[in-house]
Amino acid sequence: MRALIVTAVAAERDAVVRGLGRAAAEAVAPTEVALPGGVLHRLEWSGAPALTVDVTAAGVGPAAAAAGSATALTAAALAHAPYDLAVSAGIGGGFTGPAGAQAAPRAPLGSVVIADAVVAADLGAETADGFAAVTDLGFGTVEHLPPAALVAAAAEAVHAVRGTVLTVSTVTGSAERTAELLRRHPRAAAEAMEGFGVAEAAAAQSVPVLEVRAISNAVGPRDRAAWRIGEALEALAVAFGNLVPVLRTWTLEPGAGPDFVDREGIRQ
Ligand SMILES: O=C(O)c1cccc(C(=O)CC[C@H]2O[C@@H](n3cnc4c(=O)[nH]cnc43)[C@H](O)[C@@H]2O)c1
């Protein structure tokens, strides 16, 4: 099993590497592999089932995430050692308000969210009737679906909240925008800025995706002083320590591939 983990910043990458390194006594110290425009921090577990995990910090936002992911995925494929899984990981904002009538998932500070849907929340157009997603305009997709069995196993191992993780290019900073996002995405548990970029790059090479977010702040009116980044980075490290056995043993069900939702809203 070979997994690529993509974070935005070095502090997130280091937390993931730290957590993975704590997971097993036989873990080899990370080695560095240079790529054009980036560096992979590689951890390898030999023995059956073997596991190789490459962790890279690709930058903030969906474009940087897609570019960094595509570089690593392509380098691996050309070296005849393709990845089996791409993971978007880092801190994120949690939808922390009271659960609504539909019992939407809620993610308090310090909790971990595993995405069962990776959704581009602001990829589209403003129209006289409100926001229209690119799929409403006849283009592409705005939703990637991680493998359900992997989501279930990962969420159980990490005691994580399961729900939609939104990818936004602008961090939400008002109650109005928070309400609008929840109206459009009632199952949203968290928002971050990279998941959809990693998912698009992975889907282009038929690689499944997972997204893991440790909650550093509440989505809502901007209050940077209230962000709990240190606690979230430690929660991220603990989560990746607990994910090692899941990554070692997970295999994609035969015939299953990366899923996305097409412009008619049909799972492909
Ligand atoms: O200042 C630091 O020490 C520090 C350490 C680690 C990470 C950061 C970041 O600012 C990471 C930015 C990253 O975090 C995600 N994020 C976190 N909260 C939100 C949010 O409410 N809405 C959207 N994104 C959020 C995002 O993926 C950024 O890339 C700083």
For 130, residues 6+ apart whose C-beta sits below 8 A from its C-beta are none
Q: Is the CB of 121 under 6 A from ligand 1?
A: no
Q: Is the CB of 171 under 6 A from ligand 1?
A: yes
**Closest residue by Cα to residue 217 from 138, 87, 110:** 110
Kindly provide the ipTM of the predicted complex, given to two decimals.
0.94
pLDDT at 101: 41
| DSSP reduced 3-state for 56 | strand
| DSSP reduced 3-state for 71 | helix
pLDDT at 257: 66
pLDDT at 22: 87
Q: Is the CB of 9 under 6 A from ligand 1?
A: yes
pLDDT digits (tens, 9 = 90+) for 141-154: 999 999 999 999 99
Q: Is the pLDDT of residue 100 over 80?
A: no
- Token duo for residue 110: 């310090």
Q: Is the pLDDT of residue 99 over 80?
A: no
Please give the model's pTM, rounded to 2 decimal places: 0.93
Q: Label residue 5 by pLDDT band (50, 70, 90).
A: very high
* The residue type at 143: E
For 224, residues 6+ apart whose C-beta sits below 8 A from its C-beta are none
Please tell me the residue having the least CA distance from ligand 1 atom 21: 93
Q: Is the pLDDT of residue 124 over 90?
A: yes
Q: Is the pLDDT of residue 104 over 70?
A: no
Q: Is the pLDDT of residue 86 over 80?
A: yes
The distance from CA 3 to its chain's CA centroid, rounded to whole angstroms, is 13
Most confident range (mean pLDDT) of 98-112, 198-212, 245-259 is 198-212
Q: Label residue 29 by pLDDT band (50, 70, 90).
A: confident
Of all residues in the chain, the percent with pLDDT exceeding 90 is 83
- Token duo for residue 193: 């800025």
Residue bearing the bigger pLDDT, 52 or 260: 52
| Atom number, ligand 1, closest to the C-alpha of residue 193 | 27
Q: Is the dihedral of CA 64, 266, 165, 254 positive or negative?
A: negative
109 touches 232 (CB < 8 A): yes
Q: Is the CB of 193 under 6 A from ligand 1?
A: yes
Cα 158 to ligand 1 centre (Å): 21
Q: Is the CB of 93 under 6 A from ligand 1?
A: yes
**Closest residue by Cα to residue 216 from 97, 110, 67, 68:** 110
Cα 67 to ligand 1 centre (Å): 18
Q: Is the pLDDT of residue 232 over 80?
A: yes
Cα 237 to ligand 1 centre (Å): 15
Q: Is the pLDDT of residue 81 over 50?
A: yes
Cα 76 to ligand 1 centre (Å): 28
**Closest residue by Cα to residue 235 from 13, 16, 6, 9:** 16
Give 80's DSSP letter: T
- Residue 233, beta-bridge partner list: none
What is the longest distance spanned by two Cα atoms in the chain?
Answer: 59
Hunting for tokens 């492909």 — which residue is that?
Answer: 268
pLDDT at 28: 64
Q: Is the pLDDT of residue 252 over 80?
A: no
pLDDT at 23: 79
For 103, residues 6+ apart whose C-beta sits below 8 A from its C-beta are none
- Token duo for residue 27: 């873990």
Measure the CA–CA gap between 213 and 91, rounded to whole angstroms.
5
| Atom number, ligand 1, closest to the C-alpha of residue 194 | 27
The distance from CA 134 to its chain's CA centroid, rounded to whole angstroms, is 21
| Atom number, ligand 1, closest to the C-alpha of residue 232 | 6
- Over residues 128-146, mean pLDDT: 95
